[in-house]
Structure 1
Amino acid sequence: MNRKLVNAIANRDGAALSRLSEDRQPSNQPVVNENAERLVNALFRQLKQVFPAAMQTNLRNESDEALAKQQWIAAFAENGIRTKEQLSAGMRQARASESPFWPSPGQFVQWCKQGEALSVGLPTEDELYEMFRDYCKYRGWRDVEWQSNACYWMVTNIHAEMLRQNLTDSEVKKLCSRELKIMAKRIQAGEKIPEPVVQIEKKYTPTDSYESLRQIYYLKEMLKKTDLSFHEWLCESNRKHKKGY
C-alpha cells in the first residue's frame, strides 16, 4: 500500500485522503483522436444540409449533438470507417436517399461501405445477392451474364461457402457484404481481377447394351436373384425380350 495512504489513514487526515483519491482518478483523456473528431464535425455539418429536419428532432441542442457525435465516432471505430474517402462515399449515398430522416450510425456505416464498393464498379449488397440467386437458379456459370470478372469470383466464392458451411439465407447476405469489402480492397490496391476460369463440363457417356446387361446380371447375382451363369442368363433375357415379356 502507498506510504502516504498508510500515514493518512493512521493520522485520520481527511484532506490528505481526499487529495490521494483525486490523484488516483483516471485522467480525462479523449476517447478518440482529434482527427476523428474533426471528420465527424465536418460530416455533421454536411448531413445537416441534407437532413435539415434533424435540427428539430435528433439534434435539438448542443448536448444532443455532442452525445450523437460520440456514438457516431464509436460506430466508425468499430466498423473500420477511418478515411475521408469512406465518408465521402457515405455522403453520396446520403444525398441519394429518399428518406427525410437523419440516418442512424449503422445506416451511415452501411452507406460508406456500399459507396466504397460502387466507386470501384462493384454492385450493391442487394444486387450481389440477386446475382447469387440467379447463379443458383441456372446452376451454371456459363448461363449467367457476368457484370464483371469481380462479380464472377464473388458469386462463385459465395456459392462454394454456402455449400461447404450449409449457410442460411441471412448468413449468405452477410457473406455478400464481406465479399464486397474484400473485393473493393483488392481493386483499390490496383490488383487486376482475373477472368473466369473455364470449367470442364462433365459429360455422360452411356455404356453399350452388352455392358449394361452384364452389370444388371452381376447386380442380380449380388442380390441372389438368379442361379444362372451370365451367358445362360443373357440367352434367357434375349428369349424373353423376343417373346415380349
Structure 2
Amino acid sequence: MRNLVAAIQNRDAGALARIAGDSNHPVDRGVHEDVERLVDILFSNLKQLFPASVSTALRDPRDEAAAKRQWIAAFAENGIANKQQLSAGMKQARANGSPFWPSPGQFIEWCKEGEHRAAGLPSDEELYDMFKLYCRDRGMYDSSEEFPWESPACFHMVTAVYNQMRSFNLSDSECRKRLADEQRKMSRRIESGEVIPPPRKQIPHLHIPLSNDKGLDRIAEIRRKHGLRS
C-alpha cells in the first residue's frame, strides 16, 4: 500500500505501470497483491452502486483489468492518493442518480468535490462563479474585505487569484486553473487544523512629507552612510 501511495504522490509513471502489471518488468508479487486489493475494493463498491456496469463496461475480465490500470494512472495524474479522498468520492457517487459506471475523470471530480465539502469549501464551479461575481462587482465596495464573502477561505482564495490575474494578465482558463490550485491548498490547510483568518481591512500606509530642513538632513545622512561626497 505504501508503495502505491508513494508512486502516486511522486507521479512515478514507471512504478505505477509496474504495479499495475502494464510493463515487462518483473513485479513484486506482494506489492501487486496490495494494490490489487485496494483497487478491487473500490471497484467492488462501485459495482454495487452502478449495477449496469457488470453487464456492460466490465462484462469482460480483460476490460476490467484494463480499466483498473487506467484508474491508477488517472489517480496519479490528479493527486488522488489516500483513502480519505476515495471515501469522499464514494460519498458523492452514492448521491449520484445514474446506474452507469463513471469515468475516472468523473470519479476524480467526485473525490475533489467531496473533499472540498468536508473542509467546508465550495465546489470548483461554485468558486469560479464567486470569482466572476467578485470581478464584476468589485468596484461597488470600498475594499475587497467589504465584499459579502461566504467564508474567510473564499476571501483568501478569490482575492489571491484576482491579484494574480491583474498582475500577470491571466486568461479565463488560467484563472480557473489557479482557483482549483487555491482550493487544494486551502483544503490541506483546513485539514491540518489551521484556522483561516477573516478578512481584515488593511490600514493604509500614509506618506508624510518631510520639511525642507529635515529632508536635507536626511540626504546628508544617506551620503555619510554610503561615503558619498556632498
TM-score for the superposition, normalised by structure 2: 0.71
1:167 match:
170
User: Which whole-Å CA distance do the structure 2 matches of 1:94 and 1:84 have between them?
Assistant: 15
User: Which whole-Å CA distance do the structure 2 matches of 1:185 and 1:136 have between them?
Assistant: 26
Task: State the Cα distance separating 1:168 from its structure 2 match.
Answer: 1.4
User: Which whole-Å CA distance do the structure 2 matches of 1:152 and 1:143 have between them?
Assistant: 10
TM-score for the superposition, normalised by structure 1: 0.66
User: Which whole-Å CA distance do the structure 2 matches of 1:181 and 1:42 have between them?
Assistant: 26
Task: State the Cα distance separating 1:152 from its structure 2 match.
Answer: 0.5
1:122 match:
121
**Contact map agreement 1:36 1:82 (CA 8 A) in 2:** no
Of the two structures, which has the highest relative contact order with CA contacts closer than 8 Å and spacing of 6 or more? Answer: 2
**Structure 1 unmatched ranges of 5 or more:** 1-25, 203-245
**Contact map agreement 1:51 1:101 (CA 8 A) in 2:** yes
Question: Are the structure 2 counterparts of residues 30 and 106 from structure 1 closer, same or farther at C-alpha, using a change threshold of 3 Å?
Answer: farther
User: Which whole-Å CA distance do the structure 1 matches of 2:32 and 2:68 have between them?
Assistant: 13
**Structure 2 unmatched ranges of 5 or more:** 1-23, 206-230
Q: Which stretches of structure 1, 4 residues or longer, exceed 3 Å deviation after superposition?
A: 30-36, 199-202
User: Which whole-Å CA distance do the structure 2 matches of 1:185 and 1:151 have between them?
Assistant: 14
1:227 match:
none
Task: State the Cα distance separating 1:199 from its structure 2 match.
Answer: 3.7
Q: How does 1:147-226 map to 2 (within 5 A)?
A: 147-199=150-202
Task: State the Cα distance separating 1:37 from its structure 2 match.
Answer: 2.6
Task: State the Cα distance separating 1:200 from its structure 2 match.
Answer: 5.1
User: Which whole-Å CA distance do the structure 2 matches of 1:45 and 1:125 have between them?
Assistant: 28
SS of 1:130's equivalent in the other structure is helix
1:51 match:
50
The Cα offsets for residues 73-118 of structure 1, whole Å up to 9 and x where unpaired, read as 1111222212111100011111222333311112211211111111
Q: Identity over aligned residues, as a percent?
A: 54
SS of 2:150's equivalent in the other structure is coil
Q: Which structure's CA Rg is the greater one?
A: 1
